[in-house]
Amino acid sequence: MKLTKIAGAVLIGIATISTFAYCTSDAKKAGDKKAANDTTKVEEENLRAPVDTAKYDQIIKKLANGDTTGKWPVKNQPYPLDGAILPFKRIVVYYGNLHSKKMGALGEYAPKEMWSRLNKEIKHWEKVDPSTPVQAGLHYIAAVASGTPGKDGKYINRMGNKQIDSVLKIAKMRPNTIVFLDLQVALSNIKAELPHIAKYLEMPNVHLGIDPEFSMKDGSLPGKKIGTYDAADLNYVTGYLADIVKKHNLTPKVFVVHRFTKKMVTNYKSIKLRPEVQIVMHMDGWGEPDLKLGTYRHFIFGEPVQFTGFKLFYKNDLKKAPNRLMTPEELMKLKPIPSYIQYQ
């Protein structure tokens, strides 16, 4: 009886050990497979290494231009993925819409003349700051806030693919030109409008701009008052862009946000920075130099996000004394020095 029990116990023990051995073996195989997958994932992530961090730090310190307030350069910002345009280059663009000569130089002039004029501006910047290569760009308003409601009642005029394709074709006239698609959402919203240009944002040379002035969250008609975006909106956009960058293995997207009042961007301290996206807070106001400098000081310098931009209006900036356009030499004295220059 005892022998039978002992034999049974031994058999149970052997069975248990055998089962445990099989489980351990399966677990080991599963573990090996997971480890292999993890290794592959790490290798894939390593393909998108950060930029030269020492050089990055050196340049953003230079852009701070001796600021002693502690605001610039922005602290604790993530290093961008390799291939980032900023801060290694200065972006200089013409802005506008092909259907209007009044919305900017991009639509005012025929392509060859437009490029002749923009190339002169680029050469001026290269002469003033030879240490920073210029990245040429076209900034196209792909969704225009409208004075009429349209079929969907959103007061927005979306440019068709043919128009956007035309801009991409014009961009090819100068090698390595990048294109910004700008959205004025009117009574729509940014979540609804991004999908309309999604296929273009998947292209490596296409970037994004949004204009809070025409984001009418309270239902007001565009042009009747100045609109607004919150940090939550910007975080949604950067998340959207980051997903595209990761999915299609792209270099970082540049994301331009127009601004000339405090309420145009609320809760700026909550704006999230990501390695896949480079945010430019762009001083979009027009007027005499002193007015523009004040706007830059209060709403761009005073509420730091990441990079800065500055717009120059060929016509509107000349309306009041001293009736002249600010020069690259003057803009190089700003704190911080703008990394994105837009001519309208």
Whole-number pLDDT of residue 47: 56
Whole-number pLDDT of residue 10: 31
Q: b/e per residue, 108-137, with b = 16+ CB within 10 A? A: bbebeebbebbeebbeebbeebeebebbbb
Model confidence band, residue 21 (pLDDT cutoffs 50, 70, 90): very low
pLDDT at 26 over 70: no
Interval 300-339: pLDDT, tens: 999 999 999 999 999 999 999 999 999 999 999 999 999 9
Describe the chain by its helix, strand, coil percentages, rounded to 5.
40, 20, 35
Q: Which of 170, 171, 248, 246 has the alpha carbon at shortest distance from 202?
A: 248
pLDDT at 291 over 70: yes
Kindly report the CATH number that applies to the domain delimited by 51-343: 3.20.20
Task: State whether the Cα torsion 143-92-118-177 is positive or negative.
Answer: negative
Whole-number pLDDT of residue 220: 96
pLDDT at 90 over 80: yes
Cβ neighbours for 96, distance < 8 A, ≥ 6 positions apart: 103, 104, 105, 106, 107, 108, 139, 140, 141, 344
Interval 237-259: pLDDT, tens: 999 999 999 999 999 999 999 99
* Alpha-carbon dihedral angle through residues 193, 198, 203, 208, given to the nearest 10 degrees: 20
Q: Which of 253, 283, 273 has the alpha carbon at shortest distance from 344?
A: 283
The domain locations on the chain are: 1-47, 51-343
Instruction: Choose between 47 and 100: higher pLDDT.
Output: 100
User: For residues 71 and 175, what is the distance between their CA atoms, to the nearest angstrom?
Assistant: 36
Is the pTM above the cut of 0.75?
yes
- pLDDT above 70: percentage of residues in the chain: 86
Model confidence band, residue 40 (pLDDT cutoffs 50, 70, 90): very low
Chain center to CA of 162: 24
pLDDT at 18 over 50: no
Average pLDDT score over the chain: 89
Interval 111-143: pLDDT, tens: 999 999 999 999 999 999 999 999 999 999 999
